[in-house]
């Protein structure tokens, strides 16, 4: 096979600044289509998810079963593993040393070009179809009918650990001090019910990797981040069918929502 | 203990606690088992007060360990005993009738043993008694399992009472409900695993089906084991009718072992093509759990007993005793494998993160082993106790023999007499002996 000789001196610059918005958009759409076709099982692009879950985009907001429908977007690329969120969570919710409500996982791709490590924060996904609530024999864990948070009624917990087994996200552990299973409740008792708008973890996140908000409100940042087609949004373990409310997306510092921190923090 | 009238004692075959003293060896075994159970519960209670987190080997990632395996083993055996014995005294298939009394008794015993084990697994067992009633979750398999097992135990107690009273109409009636609740409860236990859609290894209809069939297999093995054991304790209770019953049960057990072998085989084969399941399957075929699987589950639980039972022809008591004893140990491994296999693959395994790249590990702690040993020792001691003070669970009167029929002294079966026939003539007719005589 013959190749044309590369004219190095007259090469055009191909840095990101030179790429037009239009070109960028076409490329992303192409990527979305490709992932939609090939990675259907593992990654759900929001386009396909929207069509799957909701009838048409106009009915969108009304279709969210809760008001406010608390939700979190984790911008995976922004997490730097400082663990401020884990510490804030422990302090706010009195989480003992042997347990955690949220955690940061490390993904290492040693043969990647450039950055080789990525951090994935995990927490309770506050699923719309929570397997834990179905599993619990005494309704000790339940989905709050107002805001969709998966809550614990500690006095009813018999400690069978069925919910720990049922959870697809390993979000539960037995808390000795409470004599019950403990889990993330989006800081409902410690912050949200006291008038604060953010969870402890999203409040302290220095890079804006954790964005918290109401997904049923079109003005909310979470709504805007999820309901777009330019960036891929996915959820963890979609195959479990639990319809989680914690969304993941890739983000870099040049993201359209370049939030270094969530605006209404503190 | 309430006094039992003489007439009732005769009907029940109740010989009083004085029967215990007849053999020093048996009495010391009973004492040993009883003390083991007591010590184990003391250890268990120590765990309750120090907190299970400190003394048990279970973790956040593997929340169910040896205790759940022990519980499943006990309730599976209990359900199996009830299912297999009901073929006789509920559905009226005569050869299975003589095993009913011991089977139902052991069914209750294993249920109690299972409950004592689960008591030490639940963090707040007393809350269960309250909130199971006032805050039931009808969507939860766990709730149905617990509630139906409660009803099942109740039905079993009534069934056993009527068996003792030799009221076979009512024992059949209550036995039917026992069977109904037993199957419902047990398939719900299967569904506890089968309906966890976050756990690929278990998810699907396989679990409830497998649980029912393997319960019958365990039940068959337990009936043979405990009946042969009883014959060793007291050879006098062995008669041709019981021999025939055990032969029938051993034939059924052979068939059920073959079925479970196929179940296991297809679970492996179908698991090999599913990437996430394969990780768990591999751990059991070639990985760290291979000895449990090959030696425990397949060897001791299925293949060797199958060969021994076939070779015993349902007649060789010692061989059957060894085969089924081995089988019960193997079945314990089977339950342990089943509970662990669904948990050793971390839920975030497919995410390829560093924290969950390896399989999870679980080693039972001393406290867990003690509690399970305690449960099994309780079952063992109650078995010997029942055997001694209830005179080997014999039927005192054969009221189940229909009018116009008799128990054949030759084969142990029930034969019907024709009009004007003596038992002798009926026997000869049934066994084709008349023709031979004419030919002579």
Residue B49 has pLDDT above 60, yes or no: yes
Percent of chain B whose predicted confidence (pLDDT) is above 90: 30
A9 upstream amide cis, omega within 30 of 0: no
The answer to whether B348 contacts A164, with C-beta atoms less than 8 Å apart, is no
Residues B32 and B161 grouped into a single domain:
yes
Residues 57-86 in A contacting B (C-alpha not used; CB under 8 Å): none
Q: How far is B35 from chain A (nearest CA, A)?
A: 28
Tell whether B15 is within 8 A of chain A (Cβ). Answer: no
Q: What pLDDT is recorded for position B108? A: 93
Label residue B416 left, alpha or beta by phi (over 0 means left) and psi (-120 to 50 means alpha). beta
Q: How close is the nearest chain A Cα to the Cα of B40, in Å?
A: 21
Inter-chain touch B347–A140, beta carbons under 8 Å: no
How far is B425 from B432, CA to CA, in rounded Å? 10
Q: Where are the alpha helices (DSSP H) in B51-167?
A: 52-55, 66-89, 100-119, 125-134, 141-164
A109 falls within a domain: yes
Distances (CA, A) of A103 to A180, B188, B252: 20, 34, 52
Share of chain B above pLDDT 70, in %: 92
Residue B17 belongs to some domain of the structure: no
Domain of B422 in residue numbering reads as 404-440
Q: Give domain status of residue A12, yes or no.
A: no
**The domain containing residue A76 runs over which residues?**
36-249
- Structural domain tally of chain A? 1
B66 lies in some domain: yes
Question: B193: distance to nearest CA of chain A, Å?
Answer: 9
Average the pLDDT over B394-410 and give the result: 62
Q: How far is the C-alpha of B440 from the C-alpha of B183, rounded, in Å? A: 54
Give the C-alpha separation, A180 to B146, whole Å. Answer: 19
Specify the DSSP class assigned to residue A229. S
Let me know if residue B16 belongs to a domain: no
Nearest by CB: A157 against B124, B352, B356: B124
Per-residue pLDDT of chain A (266 residues; tens, 9 = 90+): 566 666 767 766 666 666 676 776 676 666 655 554 444 333 444 444 444 443 334 444 556 778 888 889 998 888 888 889 999 999 999 999 988 999 999 988 888 888 888 899 999 999 888 889 989 999 899 998 888 899 999 888 998 899 999 999 989 999 888 889 999 999 998 888 888 888 999 888 888 888 898 888 888 888 888 887 777 888 888 888 788 889 988 876 655 555 556 655 44
Q: Please, which residues have CB within 8 angstroms of residue A128's CB and are 6 or more apart in sequence?
A: A65, A148, A242, A243, A244, A245
Q: Which of B53, B132, B196 sits opposite A138 (nearest CB)?
A: B132
Residues B259 and B371 reside in one and the same domain: yes
Q: Tell me whether residues B127 and A158 touch, CB distance under 8 A.
A: yes
Domain with residue A212: its CATH number is 3.30.70.20
Does residue B270 form part of some domain? yes
Both B291 and B432 in one domain: the answer is no
Q: Are both B284 and B206 inside the same structural domain?
A: yes
Contact criterion met (CB < 8 Å) for B60 and A173: yes
Residue B149 contacts residue B187 (beta carbons within 8 Å): no
Residue A17 belongs to some domain of the structure:
no
User: Is some CB atom of chain A closer than 8 A to the CB atom of B358?
Assistant: no
* CATH at residue B163: 1.20.1630.10
Q: B142 and chain A: CB distance < 8 Å anywhere?
A: yes
Partner B, chain A 131-170, Cβ-Cβ below 8 Å:
131, 134-140, 155-162, 164-170
Is the pLDDT at B172 greater than 70? The verdict is yes
Q: Tokens 């008669």 correspond to what residue? A: B239
Q: In this structure, is residue A107 part of a structural domain?
A: yes
- Two structure tokens written together for B164: 């003792």
Asked if the Cβ–Cβ distance from A168 to B198 is below 8 Å, we say yes
B275 in A contact zone (CB under 8 Å): no
pLDDT of residue B80: 93
Is there a domain that residue B70 lies in?
yes
Best CA proximity match to A185, nearest among A92, A264, A119, A105: A92
Going by DSSP bridges, is the β-strand pair A173-175/A180-182 parallel, antiparallel, or unpaired? antiparallel
> Is B149 an 8 Å CB contact of chain A?
no
Residue B148 and residue B141 in contact, taking contact as beta carbons nearer than 8 Å: no
B68 in any annotated domain: yes
Same domain, B270 and B332: yes
Q: B218 and B338 in one domain?
A: yes
Domain-located, residue B317: yes
What is the pTM assigned to this prediction? 0.84
Total count of domains within chain B: 2
CB contact under 8 A, A158 and B198: no
**pLDDT at position B70 over 90:** yes
Asked whether residue A59 is assigned to any structural domain, the reply reads: yes
- What CA dihedral angle connects B214, B191, B329 and B80, to 10 degrees? -50
Contacts of A195 (CB under 8 A, 6+ apart): none
Q: Does B274 touch chain A (CB under 8 A)?
A: no
B9 occurs within a structural domain: no
Same domain membership, residue B354 and residue B312: yes
Please name the residue of chain B whose CA is at the shortest distance from the CA of residue A175.
B53
Q: Is B360 on the interface with A (CB under 8 A)?
A: no
Same domain, B323 and B439: no
- For B292-321, write each residue's pLDDT tens digit: 899 989 999 899 999 999 988 878 888 889
Q: Do B124 and A137 touch (CB under 8 A)?
A: no
CA–CA dist B51, B428 (Å, integer): 69
Q: What is the mean pLDDT of residues B92-119?
A: 88
- Which of A42, A128, A138 best probes binding to B when mutated, by most B CB atoms within 10 angstroms? A138
């Amino acid at each position: 096979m013959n190749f044309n000789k590369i004219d190095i001196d007259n090469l055009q610059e191909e840095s990101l600044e030179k790429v037009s918005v239009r070109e960028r958009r076409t490329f992303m759409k192409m990527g979305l289509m490709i992932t939609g076709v090939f990675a259907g099982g593992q990654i759900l692009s929001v386009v396909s998810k929207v069509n799957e879950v909701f009838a048409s985009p106009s009915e969108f907001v009304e279709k969210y079963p809760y008001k406010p429908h608390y939700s979190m977007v984790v911008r995976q690329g922004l997490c730097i593993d400082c663990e401020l969120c884990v510490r804030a969570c422990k302090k706010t919710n009195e989480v003992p040393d042997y347990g955690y409500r949220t955690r940061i996982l490390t993904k290492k791709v040693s043969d990647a070009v450039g950055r080789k490590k990525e951090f994935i924060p995990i927490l309770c996904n506050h699923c719309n179809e929570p397997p834990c609530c179905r599993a619990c024999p005494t309704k000790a864990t339940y989905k709050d009918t107002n805001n969709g948070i998966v809550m614990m009624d500690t006095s009813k917990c018999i400690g069978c650990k069925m919910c720990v087994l049922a959870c697809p996200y390993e979000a539960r552990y037995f808390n000795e001090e409470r004599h019950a299973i403990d889990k993330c409740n989006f800081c409902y008792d410690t912050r949200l019910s006291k008038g604060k708008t953010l969870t402890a973890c999203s409040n302290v996140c220095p890079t804006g990797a954790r964005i918290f908000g109401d997904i049923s409100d079109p003005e909310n940042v979470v709504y805007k981040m999820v309901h777009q087609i330019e960036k891929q949004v996915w959820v963890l373990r979609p195959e479990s069918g639990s319809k989680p409310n914690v969304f993941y997306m890739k983000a870099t510092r040049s993201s359209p929502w370049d939030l270094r921190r969530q605006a209404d923090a503190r | 203990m309430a006094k039992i009238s003489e007439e009732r004692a005769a009907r029940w075959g109740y010989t009083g606690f004085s029967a215990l003293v007849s053999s020093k060896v048996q009495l010391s075994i009973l004492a040993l088992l009883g003390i083991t159970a007591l010590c184990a519960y003391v250890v268990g209670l120590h765990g309750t007060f120090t907190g299970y987190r400190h003394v048990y080997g279970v973790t956040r990632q593997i929340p169910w360990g040896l205790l759940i395996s022990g519980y499943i083993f006990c309730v599976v055996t209990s359900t199996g005993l009830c299912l297999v014995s009901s073929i006789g005294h509920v559905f009226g298939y005569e050869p299975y009738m003589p095993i009913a009394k011991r089977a139902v008794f052991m069914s209750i015993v294993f249920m109690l043993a299972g409950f004592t084990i689960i008591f030490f697994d639940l963090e707040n067992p007393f809350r269960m008694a309250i909130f199971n009633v006032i805050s039931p979750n009808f969507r939860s398999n766990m709730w149905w399992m617990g509630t139906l097992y409660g009803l099942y135990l109740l039905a079993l107690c009534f069934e056993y009472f009527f068996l003792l009273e030799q009221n076979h109409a009512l024992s059949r009636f209550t036995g039917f409900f026992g069977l109904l609740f037993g199957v419902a409860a047990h398939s719900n236990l299967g569904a506890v695993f089968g309906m966890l859609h976050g756990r690929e290894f278990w998810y699907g209809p396989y679990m409830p089906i497998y649980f029912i069939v393997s319960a019958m297999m365990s039940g068959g093995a337990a009936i043979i084991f405990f009946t042969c054991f009883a014959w060793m304790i007291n050879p006098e209770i062995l008669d041709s009718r019981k021999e025939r019953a055990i032969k029938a049960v051993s034939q059924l057990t052979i068939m059920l072992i073959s079925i479970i072998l196929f179940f296991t085989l297809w679970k492996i084969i179908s698991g090999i093509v599913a990437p996430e399941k394969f990780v768990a399957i591999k751990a059991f075929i070639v990985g760290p759990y291979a000895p449990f699987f090959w030696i425990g589950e397949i060897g001791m639980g299925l293949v060797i007993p199958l060969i021994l039972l076939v070779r015993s022809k349902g007649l060789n008591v010692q061989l059957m005793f060894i085969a089924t004893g081995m089988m019960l140990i193997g079945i314990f491994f089977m339950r342990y494998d089943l509970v662990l296999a669904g948990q050793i693959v971390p839920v975030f395994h497919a995410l390829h993160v560093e924290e969950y790249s390896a399989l999870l590990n679980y080693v039972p702690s001393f406290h867990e082993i003690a509690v399970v040993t305690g449960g099994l020792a309780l079952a063992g001691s109650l078995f010997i106790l029942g055997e001694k003070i209830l005179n080997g669970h014999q039927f005192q009167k054969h009221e189940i023999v229909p009018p116009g029929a008799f128990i054949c002294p030759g084969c142990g079966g029930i034969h019907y007499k024709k009009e004007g026939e003596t038992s002798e003539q009926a026997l000869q007719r049934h066994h084709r002996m008349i023709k031979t005589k004419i030919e002579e």
